[in-house]
Chains A and B, each alone.
Chain A
């Protein structure tokens, strides 16, 4: 299921706040966001690639980071929506639990790593190891993803509207991967699977949630061949 936050309705927004990081510190920003109340709208200006912006948010707030974020932006995200208008560095939305994180530009490697739930949308490209060890998060990437993406993925969905790099889904458990473009190579135990009607519906829902108009029929599904679940001596060369 797609975890969606309610569309932001500015008229019902109770409060709006702005934090300028040219003057304030990241710690002050994060403290303020941890004290925030549901319904608030926050804007962060001059992020200038600083690390750990808007991490650990546990209130239904909307946070807009105007510019480029550094490492671990919106990590451990629990509720609400974080939007980065520029690019994001390594480890975007790492360990996201629920809610939504949206990057308008590119994301560096390990985006949504170990994510348990929620939705991560990257309009541009994502680097290597996108969705590594994902445990239930949904990820929609508008562009390409790098190598070793969805490595040891356990649950959740990864939708890629561009191409995927080498070793996609290596040692995957049960996550579903949908790629519109080409796949440089599949990792161990990751195979192509047929697109049934439920998969088309699933992709359509995820694309809609991400605000995209791609045709679900253009995607190919990949998932686990389930041959490496349990150690067998016959598989020893596959590890």
Chain B
């Protein structure tokens, strides 16, 4: 098992409540995956800002003081980039008004083997090992505003219980993937991607899914087409949620092995592994509630 809770807020008036709503959803999926967890939040003031690239790095300790990291990055980046480094919970956020690729290069040159778990202008990704609600609290989820939020509670099966193996996997700008299930042919697909020059951070099966989607998007697929293609190539059990800067997608494997339920109102689209995670959302009594059909890709845009 694993638990998923995702929320896309259509009504900007709900943006200040994003974190508290996502937290209320997440606490109902803890039973499904109590060993580790992760979060992705979009357009959260204080964590990301438009026109600025932000990298989320795994761990609060990057082997050198925050001030030294900032100083080292400033020597590599333009002065106008206003480079900033912050520690949020067990995550280090590095931002600068430069291209994401350039920031990745500068951070990789400055730090010894950083694990970049999130990147882009809109998203901050936080993940760790431990009780999911402790992880959420450590990162201050309740108080975070935003346009979209994605959370995952993991019960590890395919690879070790590590922070790096937690979901979401974010391998391209503002793209995040969470997965309930397991891919059975991930090693074969991984070999193909490696041959194409794709570099992996972990042994995790879900990372292969994320790298595959990123590769399809890079080749020109839209999100829906990329997920349709994933269904043709990947074998196994899955309910996936994918988020981008302005959209969210849900897909289940063709035999619907893993659960999913969706609630849609004029104010939001919410998806969770189980209905109980949706029960506390505002206006849920009038929401359109549906169980996504097997093999069908659902997408919503902000």
Contacts and interface: CB of A to CB of B under 8 A. Distances in A.
Given A49-B274, A68-B275, A70-B274, A127 B256 contact: yes
A220 to B, nearest CB: 23
B138 interface: no
Nearest to A126: B291
Given A48-B280, A147-B255, A128 B294 contact: yes
Contacts of A106: 289-291
B241 interface: no
A165 to B, nearest CB: 8
A128 B277 CA distance: 22
A71 interface: yes
Interface string A112-150: 000000000000000110000000000000000011100
Contact of B256 (A51, A68, A87, A109): A109
Describe B's contact surface by its main secondary structure.
loop
A187 interface: no
Contacts of B259: 89-90, 108-109
Contacts of B50: none
Interface residues of A, number: 19
A199 interface: no
Nearest to B276: A49
B279 interface: yes
A71 B32 CA distance: 13
Nearest to A107: B291
B278 interface: yes
B275 A146 contact: no
Nearest to A125: B291
Contacts of A50: 276
Contact of A49 (B255, B279, B293): B279
Nearest to B277: A49
Contact of A70 (B275, B289, B293): B275
A87 B289 contact: yes
A101 B271 CA distance: 27
A127 B290 CA distance: 10
Contact of B276 (A48, A109, A127, A146): A48
Contact of B275 (A49, A109, A127): A49
B42 to A, nearest CB: 26
A49 B259 CA distance: 14
A17 to B, nearest CB: 23
A90 B291 CA distance: 11
A73 B156 CA distance: 28
A131 to B, nearest CB: 16
Contact of B255 (A71, A90, A128): A128
A146 B294 contact: yes
A183 B294 CA distance: 16
A50 B261 CA distance: 14
B294 A49 contact: no
Given A71-B274, A87-B289, A106-B291, A48 B256 contact: no
Interface string A55-78: 000000000000010110000000
Contacts of A128: 255-256, 294
A49 B278 contact: yes
Contacts of A105: 289
A48 B294 CA distance: 25
Contacts of A147: 255-256, 294
B231 to A, nearest CB: 15
Nearest to A46: B279
A203 B157 CA distance: 46
Nearest to B31: A51
Nearest to B256: A128
Given A128-B294, A146-B294, A89 B256 contact: no
Contacts of A89: 259, 274-275
A127 B279 contact: no
Contacts of B289: 68, 87, 105-106
Nearest to B289: A87
Interface in A17-51: 48-51
User: What are the 8 tightest A-B residue pairs by CB atom distance, in nearest-first order?
Assistant: A49-B276, A49-B275, A48-B279, A128-B256, A49-B279, A68-B275, A70-B276, A127-B291
14 contacts: A49-B274, A49-B279, A50-B276, A51-B276, A68-B279, A70-B276, A71-B274, A87-B289, A89-B274, A106-B289, A106-B290, A109-B259, A146-B293, A148-B255
Given A49-B274, A50-B276, A70-B275, 5 more contacts: A48-B276, A49-B278, A49-B279, A89-B274, A146-B294
Interface of A: 48-51, 68, 70-71, 87, 89-90, 105-106, 108-109, 127-128, 146-148
